[in-house]
Every structure is written in C-alpha cells, then in structure tokens.
Amino acid sequence: MNAETVRLWLDDRIGIGSIAAVARKKEIPVHRHSIWYYFGGMTLFLFSVQVGTGILLLLYYRPSAETAFESVQFIVTEVKFGWLIRSVHSWSANLMIATLFIHMFSVFFMKAYRRPREMTWVSGVLLLFLAVGFGFSGYLLPWNKLAFFATKVGTEIAGVIPLVGRPMLRFLRGGEDVTGATLTRFFGFHVAVLPAITTAIIGAHLMLVQMHGMSVPPGVDNEKVKRMKFIPNFLLRDLIGWVLAIGALAALAALFPWELGEKADAFASAPAGIRPEWYFLFMFQTLKFIPAKILFFDGEVVGILAFGLGGLMLFILPFLDKPDKPRRKTVITVIGVIVVIYIVVLTIIGYLG
C-alpha cells in the first residue's frame, strides 16, 4: 500500500483533500511590516510548549497545601530533567505573554481589527485574558511565599469591585482566606477549566484568521502588495522562529532556572521586595502610587475600576474605531501610544522600586 492509496482512502472518508486545498490557498502579504505576522504563530507555538510541559509536570505535581511545595521541590531536585521541564514551563509562560502582547499591539497599530475582523480581535482579547488567568492561577501552584501573597492581593483586588466583588472573592478563594482550598481551585482552573475554554477560542480565532486572510496595514497597497505562499514558504520561516524559541527556552532554563523560594506561611509577614510577575507590574505599581482616598472613594477601588474599564475598552475596540471618522482613528492611535509608554515606564519603575 503506497502513500497515494492511503491519501485517497483518507480523502474519501474525511476529506483531507479539501483541508489541504484550503491550506495551500493561504497567502501572506510581503511588505515592510511583515515581521509582525510571526508573533501570532510564535504565541501559538509557546502555548503548545505550555501544554506539553504542563502535562509532564502533572505526572509529579500534587495539589494540596501540605504537598504542593514539596512536590515541586521533588520535581526540580529528584526527577531527571525536572528542573528543565519546570523552568521551561515558567519561561515559556512568560515569553508567551510577551509575544501575545507584541502580537496584540501590532494588530492594534496596523488597524487589523477593522471590518471584517472585529470578531478575530474580540476572540484575541479573550485569549489575552485567558493567558493572564493561566499566569495568575499557575503562579500559586508551587505554594511559595511570593505566590501566596500575590494571590492574596490579586483575589482581594477582585474583592473590592462593588457588588459582585465579595462573592467573586469567595468563589476564587474557596472561602474567606487564601488556603489549601484556593490552591485546589486554582489547580482546577489551571489544568481543566482554562485549557478547555482556551482550546475552543484558539480554534475559533484560527478559523477566523483563515477565513479572512491576513490583513494588510492601511499604508500598504492591498492590490499591488507581493504575496508569499503560507505553505511551505511562510511556515518554514515560522519553523526557524520556533527552533530559535526552543533554543532560547533551553538557554534561559539552564542559565536562569526558575526559583522555588520559601514555602507559603499564612502567619508570616509579607517578605520585603515582594512583587508580582512582570506583566502585572504596571498595575501593581499604579496601586502603590494611588492615594488612599480619591474624593470619597477608596483609592484602590478607583484604580481597579479604571483598569477594568481599560480592559473593556480593549475588548470593544473595533466598535469604537470607525474608519469613516479619521479624527477618532488618530485619537485611538495616540491613546495606544500613551498606554504603551505608561506600561513600559511603570514596569521599569516597578523593577527598580
């Protein structure tokens, strides 16, 4: 039985021919901004690294307040290549958030969210929120001091939201305080709830990208632009990026292994120099700077609601930007630039402070 017979057999039953035809049809515009097209695929690749290493960690990880810290300690000290798998999982998570941000801002500035790609953007912002959820829930799992306080603060932030805050805090924590019950819940979110939702939305996101093709930015002539075949030309270039990413992950894991820290203690002061993961730093730093009272309201409530509003604006961005209103386009670009500068500056201050 040769390959052609197998192909024909499969084509008759599951129609692989039509799938291949769709894949062959896909083309990538080639222009001076083409580099940004790589970041979506890179994010997807790093996500697959997360799935792979995550499954491996599941073989040894034990989700309870009594065993979690010790099981991670066991993974990094006793299990062969445990240090590598755990560090790659942590580093890949961080790089994934970074490439996701780059991907999002490139789409933002190239106006690729406009008609007919509004829902592609919306699904992408959902994936950003899910990725942040993955980061937040996964951070607690080693059950160390930093994670414990980060989770206390993070869930308390949810708790200060008027009306829904308290029930949400109890739902997240599995009670009034951050305890073993919280760890069990976060584990469930991290390995079951979030992966299920994320897989579905990634599927929709990719389907939409495939359906609408790649967006060409406003400054480039859509008719005259050169095009490259996705298979094999662009995919091979993608592959080079992924191989480089594997190299980078291995190097980072070997040179800067992810620390485990000290085991969480619900009756110890917060350690000095505590701070969350870098992608939460700008919000963390804002909460440090915000005064205790703004008019009649608690400062942190105002700050948190402002960030919530920011997230909502991001989500509905395609419906705020109307191409027939050029003034609005400029305003949105300017706000985007200010937001990027704000995030970068506060992150740096957060690191130095």
- Binding residues (CB under 8 A) for other proteins: these are 149, 152-153, 155-157, 159-160, 167, 170-171, 173-175, 177, 181, 266-274, 284, 287-288, 290-293, 298-300
From the CB of 168, what's the least distance to other proteins, in Å? 10
From the CB of 270, what's the least distance to other proteins, in Å? 4
Phi then psi for 283, rounded to 5 degrees? Answer: -75, -40
**The pair of three-digit structure tokens given for residue 84, joined into one six-digit string:** 């590598």
Cα 77 to Cα 101, 239, 243, 260, 328: the distances in Å are: 33, 33, 27, 11, 56
Of residues 152 and 205, the one with the C-beta less far from other proteins? 152
From the CB of 164, what's the least distance to other proteins, in Å? 13
Of residues 119 and 193, the one with the C-beta less far from other proteins? 193
Is 227 within 8 Å of 29 (Cβ atoms)? yes
Task: Give residue 167's identity as a one-letter amino acid code.
Answer: P
Of residues 41 and 63, the one with the C-beta less far from other proteins? 63
Task: Tell which residue, 273, 296, 294, has the closest CA to residue 350.
Answer: 273
| Cα–Cα–Cα angle for 259, 92, 344, rounded to 5 degrees | 85
Of residues 24 and 293, the one with the C-beta less far from other proteins? 293
Of residues 37 and 186, the one with the C-beta less far from other proteins? 186
From the CB of 170, what's the least distance to other proteins, in Å? 6
DSSP 353: -
Torsion of CA 341, 345, 351, 353, to 10 degrees: -160
Task: Give residue 95's identity as a one-letter amino acid code.
Answer: L
Of residues 11 and 298, the one with the C-beta less far from other proteins? 298
Widest CA span of the chain, in angstroms? 79
From the CB of 160, what's the least distance to other proteins, in Å? 8
From the CB of 192, what's the least distance to other proteins, in Å? 13
Of residues 170 and 226, the one with the C-beta less far from other proteins? 170
From the CB of 290, what's the least distance to other proteins, in Å? 6
From the CB of 1, what's the least distance to other proteins, in Å? 48
Task: Tell which residue, 99, 163, 107, 146, has the closest CA to residue 277.
Answer: 146
DSSP string, 265-298: -TTSPPPTT----HHHHHHHHHHHHS-SEETTEE
Of residues 115 and 293, the one with the C-beta less far from other proteins? 293
For residue 309, is it left (φ>0), alpha (ψ between -120 and 50) or beta? alpha
From the CB of 115, what's the least distance to other proteins, in Å? 35
- Counting other chains too, the contacts that 147-152 makes at CB distance below 8 Å and 24 or more residues apart are 147/261, 147/264, 148/178, 148/264, 148/265, 148/266, 149/270, 149/271, 149/274, 150/274, 150/276, 150/277, 151/178, 151/182, 151/186, 152/178
Of residues 111 and 173, the one with the C-beta less far from other proteins? 173
From the CB of 157, what's the least distance to other proteins, in Å? 6
Task: Tell which residue, 43, 32, 165, has the closest CA to residue 104.
Answer: 43
Of residues 267 and 327, the one with the C-beta less far from other proteins? 267
